[in-house]
């Protein structure tokens, strides 16, 4: 679990602000849900035999002996909130986004942490493949906008309760003959959740499942039509994608369209965003039978991909350097008045020497410094110093606030 310090937090703020802005263009509203939920919510939605539920959840008992879990993902809590607050009675279509910490007890490594952060979005109430295409286009738009270029959108379809059993059977038949080549986890998955075997990152498993039957060859007519529709609409709007028929998501609730934004620049942690359709989930959790689709981006991975393109913390537009008690009192008042008018102003709080104050202004990368000593105060004059050029000019203190506001606006 990481601290996010000044110097890096600016990148986080940038990524979050852009999500708010871009998702807003597509009609999404923010929803904020608690970080703790009843354990059963995740067991019922993500699935008992998934990695998350089997071994990654932070689960504990509270003082009333309820089993609670720190949320490992955002979709189940958002759907829980949607149902509980009957959001479908307000609007038949809900477009919601969220951002915040998620918790999984995983082996920490680059791009994989125990507290990590996701920015995600969900659309509830639309079955048409146009909405799949919109979500994917929004995701692509977001990545282009924040300047992350090394990504590829991969899509797949996992079918529905009609056609998945047929695929599962074909796959089990295929795997049966190759059990010896699979890792321990996959031998277990073969029985509990065979689709996950196709997605295993272990080289031996990858090789053994090379010729595995494709889920796309087992789709029913309706799923096939839906998947064709998604591709057609993506082409219509020029959103680039590739089909990856081996992509199997790690959560049980997905149906039909699934997708990942994949990069080659983060080693084995190659998915920066992932999601899919979950048409049965809302009903399964006790809500109305509405379809849904959504995704989550891993913010730590976005930050890693942004790399060294550091976003500097904002520097003060003005630094006030005062010498002597009276001048300090004057500048302290002036600083507050300017801050209330919207200027980023700093000063020295501890009566240091002029040299030390100028050093501080330099360190903060202030654009201008207004120097006021007792003598300047008596003459109602200040010295306005431009840090970049080390030049100074004398300016009158009458009307100084208006002057400094205008000066800062010109320097922006
Ligand atoms: P992976 O295959 O990388 O384990 P996942 O299938 O478990 O990913 P999801 O549950 O779909 O991931 O979460 C969506 C995104 O959240 C991932 O694509 C990734 O960017 C990010 N993510 C997931 N788990 C972690 C983690 N432990 N630390 C950091 N980011 C994570
Ligand atoms: Mg995972």
Closest CA to 250 of 228, 275, 213: 275
Structure tokens at 69: 């879990």
CATH 3.40.50.2300 assigned to domain 9-161+219-306? The reply is no
What is the token pair recorded at 244?
């990856």
Q: Which ligand is nearest to the Cα of residue 120, counting in written order?
A: 1
Q: What is the pTM of this model?
A: 0.89
pLDDT value, residue 310: 67
| CA angle, 315 then 353 then 326, to 5° | 90
Same CATH fold, 318-410 and 9-161+219-306? no
Alpha-carbon distance values, 309 to 8, 15, 146 (Å) = 11, 13, 11
Report how far ligand 1's centroid is from the alpha carbon of 129 (Å): 25
| 90-101 pLDDT, tens digit each | 999 999 999 999
Strands 318-322 and 345-347 turn out to be parallel
| Secondary structure of residue 49 in the 3-state scheme | coil
Q: Note the pLDDT of residue 309.
A: 65
Ligand nearest the Cα of residue 110 is 1
- The CA distance from 209 to 179, in Å, is 10
CATH of domain 318-410: 3.40.50.800
> Cα(196)–Cα(50) distance, rounded to whole angstroms?
9
Ligand 2 center to residue 250 CA distance, Å?
A: 7
Gap from CA of 382 to ligand 2 centroid (Å): 60
Mean pLDDT by 10 residues, the chain (412 residues): 93 96 96 98 92 94 98 98 97 97 96 97 98 97 94 96 93 93 92 89 90 95 98 96 90 91 88 96 96 98 84 88 96 96 94 95 96 95 96 96 95 84
Mutation pick for ligand 1 pocket among 274, 275, 305 (CB with most ligand atoms within 8 Å): 274
Among 253, 257, 254, 258, which residue's Cα sits nearest to residue 273?
A: 258
CA pair distance 231, 205, nearest whole angstrom: 30
Domain locations along the chain: 9-161+219-306, 164-215, 318-410
Helix axes 39-46, 75-84, angle to 10 degrees: 110
> Which SS3 state, helix, strand or coil, does residue 121 take?
strand
Q: 102 by DSSP, 3-state: which?
A: strand
In whole angstroms, give the CA distance from residue 94 to residue 101.
22
Hey, which of 15, 294, 296 would you mutate to test ligand 1's pocket, going by the most ligand atoms within 8 Å of its Cβ?
A: 296
Q: If DSSP codes are grouped into helix, strand and coil, which group holds residue 344? A: coil
Q: Which residues lie across from 274 on neighbouring strands?
A: 260, 296
Measured distance CA(148)–CA(236) in Å, rounded: 23
Q: Do 256 and 277 touch, CB atoms closer than 8 A?
A: yes
User: How far, in Å, CA of 305 to CA of 150, rounded?
Assistant: 8
145 alpha carbon to ligand 1 midpoint, in Å? 22
Residue 395 sits at φ, ψ, to 5 deg, of -130, 145
Output Rg (C-alpha) for the chain, integer angstroms.
28
141: phi then psi, degrees, rounded to nearest 5 = -60, -45
For residue 72, give the ligand nearest its CA: 1
Q: How far apart are CA 39 and CA 269, in angstroms?
A: 27
What pLDDT, on the 0 to 100 scale, is given for residue 308?
A: 66
C-alpha span between 186 and 176 (Å, rounded): 11
Our CA angle for 25, 27, 33, nearest 5°, is: 115
What is the 105 CA–ligand 2 centroid distance (Å)? 10
The protein residue with its alpha carbon nearest to ligand 1, atom 26, reads: 112
- Distance from C-alpha of 101 to C-alpha of 118, rounded to nearest angstrom: 6
User: Ligand 2 centroid vs 298 CA: distance in angstroms?
Assistant: 11
Give 72 Cα–ligand 2 centroid separation in angstroms. Answer: 10
Q: Pocket of ligand 1, candidates 116, 119, 259: which has the most ligand atoms within 8 Å of its Cβ, to mutate? A: 116
Ligand 1 pocket, Cβ-based, cut-off 6 angstroms: 73, 104, 106, 111-113, 116, 118, 250, 269, 271-274, 296, 298, 300-301
- Closest C-alpha to ligand 1, atom 29: 112
Q: What separation in Å is there between the alpha carbon of 253 and the centre of ligand 1?
A: 16
Between strands 242-243 and 255-262, the pairing is unpaired
Instruction: Residue count of the chain, please give it.
Output: 412
Residue 258 alpha carbon to ligand 1 centre in Å: 14
Phi, psi at 227, each rounded to 5°: -65, -40
Ligand 1 atom closest to Cα of 108?
A: 27
**In 3-state terms, what secondary structure has residue 20?**
helix
Spatial neighbors of 103 by CB under 8 A, at least 6 apart, are: 35, 57, 58, 70, 71, 72, 114, 115
Q: Cα–Cα distance between 304 and 183 in angstroms, integer?
A: 30
- How does pLDDT run across 124-172, given as a tens digit for each residue? 999 999 999 999 999 999 999 999 999 999 999 999 999 999 999 999 9
Q: Are 247 and 257 within 8 A, CB to CB? A: no
């Amino acid at each position: 679990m990481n601290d996010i310090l000044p110097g890096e937090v600016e990148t986080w703020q940038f990524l979050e602000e852009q999500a708010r802005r871009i998702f807003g263009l597509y009609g999404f509203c923010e929803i904020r849900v608690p970080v703790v939920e009843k354990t059963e919510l995740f067991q019922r939605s993500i699935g008992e035999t998934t990695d998350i539920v089997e071994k990654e959840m932070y689960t504990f008992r509270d003082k009333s002996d309820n089993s609670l879990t720190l949320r490992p993902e955002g979709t189940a809590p958002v759907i829980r909130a949607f149902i509980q607050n009957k959001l479908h009675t307000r609007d038949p279509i809900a477009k919601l986004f969220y951002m915040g910490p998620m918790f999984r007890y995983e082996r920490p490594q680059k791009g994989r942490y125990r507290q990590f952060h996701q920015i995600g979005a969900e659309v509830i109430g639309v079955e048409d493949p146009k909405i799949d295409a919109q979500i994917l286009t929004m995701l692509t738009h977001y990545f282009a906008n924040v300047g992350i270029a090394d990504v590829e959108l991969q899509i797949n379809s996992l079918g529905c309760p009609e056609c998945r059993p047929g695929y599962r059977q074909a796959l089990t038949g295929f795997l049966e003959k190759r059990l010896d080549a699979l890792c321990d986890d996959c031998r277990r998955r073969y029985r509990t959740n065979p689709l996950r075997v196709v997605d295993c990152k272990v080289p031996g498993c990858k090789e053994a499942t090379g010729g595995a039957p494709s889920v796309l060859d087992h789709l029913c007519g309706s799923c096939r039509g839906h998947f064709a529709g998604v591709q057609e609409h993506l082409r219509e709007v020029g959103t680039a994608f590739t089909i990856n028929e081996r992509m199997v998501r790690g959560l049980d609730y997905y149906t039909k369209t699934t997708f990942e934004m994949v990069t080659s620049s983060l080693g084995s942690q190659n998915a920066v965003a992932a999601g899919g359709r979950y048409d049965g989930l809302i009903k399964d959790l006790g809500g109305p039978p509405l379809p849904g689709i959504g995704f989550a981006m891993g913010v730590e991975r976005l930050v890693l991909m942004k790399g060294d393109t550091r976003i500097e913390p904002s520097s003060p537009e003005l630094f006030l350097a005062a010498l002597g008690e009276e001048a300090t009192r004057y500048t302290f008042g002036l600083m507050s008045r300017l801050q209330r008018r919207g200027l980023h102003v700093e000063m020295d709080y501890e009566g240091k020497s002029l040299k030390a104050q100028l050093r501080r202004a330099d360190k903060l990368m202030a654009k201008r410094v207004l120097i006021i000593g007792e003598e300047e105060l008596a003459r109602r004059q200040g010295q306005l110093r431009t840090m970049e050029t080390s030049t100074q000019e004398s300016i009158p203190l009458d009307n100084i606030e208006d002057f400094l506001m205008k000066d800062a606006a010109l320097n922006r």
